[in-house]
């Protein structure tokens, strides 16, 4: 509270989403949309602001090791 007794809103912590899938077939599906929605839902449920910046590895397989060469 400030000197006048007014509640000062707390600044919500900021969260960043990390979205990944490992095949081009998943890119054609709803993986990106599903994970984006899940990140938004998590932020709301946990009182976080979700950044407009999202970290993404789309269609890059970690199993094959291509992420070490191409990853973002």
Point out the residues that are catalytic.
Answer: 22
Can you tell me whether residue 49 is helix, strand or coil? strand
- 36 neighbors 68 (Cβ within 8 angstroms): no
Provide the CB-side half-sphere exposure for 22 (13 A, CA).
Answer: 7
């Amino acid at each position: 509270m400030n000197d006048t007794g007014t509640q000062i809103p707390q600044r919500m912590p900021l969260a960043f989403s990390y979205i990944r899938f490992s095949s081009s077939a998943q890119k054609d599906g709803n993986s990106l949309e599903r994970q984006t929605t899940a990140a938004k839902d998590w932020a709301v449920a946990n009182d976080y602001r979700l950044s407009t910046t999202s970290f993404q590895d789309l269609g890059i397989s970690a199993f094959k090791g291509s992420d070490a060469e191409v990853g973002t």
